[in-house]
Every structure is written in structure tokens, then in C-alpha cells.
Chains A and B, each alone.
Chain A
Amino acid sequence: MSTHHISTFATLMSVAGTLLVLTFLTVAVTWINIPEPFNVVVAIAIAILKAALVAMFFMNLYWDSKFNTVVFLMSILFLIIFVSITLLDTMFRDAGLPVY
């Protein structure tokens, strides 16, 4: 049955190995000076790649009913809406920075 996917030992090990390599990479890119804002972009890009690997192969979204993936991505979508609408306020205040 497609709903009961059993991952092979090799798959799980290679996903974990890739995650460790990416962890090293995310630390290593701080040793070279990437100019703002690209250092943040690189850090987040690596984090997204790692999160995607965990979600797809550890949380089995790759083999699951695609509905679970849709639910997961909806939460990300709403998070992006949350962030962007709040930033539309806080980034463009005329009165300058608040005291906090």
C-alpha cells in the first residue's frame, strides 16, 4: 500500500548524511565574508533545503498522500502573509524607530 511506505536504511542514512554536510556548509559560509543581504539569503536557502529534506524523506511527505503536503505548504503560505503584511507596516513608519 502506498500509504505505508517503508524507507530503506540507505535512504534514511543518506538523508541524514546530506543534512550533516549542509550543517557544515551553513557554518562554513560564515567563514567567508558574503556581503549583506546575501549572507542571510544563503543561510535561509540552506535551512529551507534542510527542512525540505526532513519533510520529504523523514516525515514521508514524498510518498504520502499529496494532501498532507498541501496542508504543510499552506502553513508556510500563511506564515509568509503574516510576515509580509506586518513588514509593510513596520518597514515604512514615518515616525522613525520606536523606543523598543
Chain B
Amino acid sequence: MGNQIAEKEKPSHLQHHFVDSDQQFESSKFGMWIFLVTEILMFGGLFVAYIIYRSWHPDLFYLAAKELDTALGATNTVVLIASSLTIALAIRAVQLDKIKAAINYMAATVVLAGTFMVIKYFEYTDKFAKGILPGAGYTYDGIAHDMAANFFSIYYMMTGLHGIHVVIGMGLIIWMIVKAKKGAVHSGYYTPVENTGLFWHLVDIIWIFLFPLLYLID
């Protein structure tokens, strides 16, 4: 009988295999961190490629980075930092049960992520127009270096994989807005918003490294 009473007091979000909400929250968050580790190591492969090519052809990286627009790269860095701030504020709002504010902060995050992608779109199309395409598609002759195509292959792979993550992040945040509108997240249960926030901050951290490594080679 005692067990049945305890069963009734369980909050609806609590899965039966957890002792309490805190254990569920901690486990879920730990799982998210494990996933982020795999993300770091996936991007790690690309960073290793970058490091090896730069150690082989430092002159190429110096020449090719001049083709990248530092102003646009810096703007995108500011945009992503702002989006990290808004998602952090969204989590704070959910923790304080200010669901309406949380939805607004998440919507702002989606808008900022969209801004990032629009700027990236202009950067890509500008390069495509010049014939700067990854791999065999490279036809640009403005860089006096035999290996110029390789820099841009690395550039497109790193920023492309990052861009895919931004789009996925936008999808996750929109999903969280839907959840918040349904009243599925609140101060007692905000695990999905917290984990989406962790994902989004990791996307920000990766860009924090991509920006100086690709755009700021002097």
C-alpha cells in the first residue's frame, strides 16, 4: 500500500527507473555530456586535418585566409555569442517558471541562429561565384599556391559540419518552444531545455575556435 501511495505522488515527467527527479536530471545531463564528447572528437578529426595541413603549408594558410571576410566572420562570432546568451537566459526563465519570457528568449536564439546561417550563405555564394569550391570543383586562380584547393576543402568541411549543427540546433530549439507552449517544461522539469542549451553552447565553442583558425591568420 505504501508503495502505491508513493507511486501516485510521482510527478508525471519521472520515468519509473529513476529514484527521483534529481537523479533523472543528473543522468540525462551526464548522457548529454557523453554525447558532447563524441561531438568534440568528431570535430577533432577535422581539427587534426587542419593542424597537419597548416604545419605542412603555413604559407598557403596565410595566403588563403585573405580570401575570407574577417568582418563577416567577426559578426558571426558576435551573433553566436549573443545566441548563447539568449539560450542561457531562456533556461534561467524556465527555471523561474517565466515560460512566456523563455519562449521569447528561445525565439530570439532561433532568429540569431538564422542570422548566422544567412551570413554564412552570403559567404559561401560569394566564394562559389569566384570558383572557390571544395575538392575537384576548385577553379579559382587568385591564390598563388598549388595546394590552394586543400585549404578550402578543409574550410568547407569545418564550417559545413558546423553549419549543419547550427541548423540541427535551430530545430531542437523550435522543438523546445513547442514543448514550452504546451506547458511540458517548468521549474520542476526543464531537462530537455537544459540539454538543448548544452548542445547550443558547444556549437558556439566550436565556432570560437574556427573563427581565429580560419579567418584570423596574419
Contact = CB atoms under 8 A, between A and B. Distances in A.
A66 to B, nearest CB: 12
B218 A39 contact: yes
Interface in A16-33: 16, 19-20, 23, 26-27, 30, 33
Nearest to B22: A3
Interface residues of B, number: 49
A87 interface: yes
A86 to B, nearest CB: 6
B55 A68 contact: no
A84 B37 CA distance: 19
Contact of B216 (A1, A27, A51, A78): A27
26 contacts: A3-B22, A3-B25, A4-B25, A20-B81, A23-B78, A23-B211, A27-B70, A30-B216, A36-B58, A43-B213, A44-B212, A47-B212, A51-B208, A54-B204, A58-B197, A59-B198, A59-B202, A68-B33, A71-B37, A75-B41, A82-B48, A83-B47, A86-B48, A86-B52, A87-B51, A97-B57
Interface of B: 22, 25-26, 29-30, 33-34, 36-37, 40-41, 44-45, 47-48, 51-52, 55-58, 70, 74, 77-78, 81-82, 84-85, 88-89, 92, 95-96, 147, 150, 197-198, 201-202, 204-205, 208-209, 211-213, 216, 218
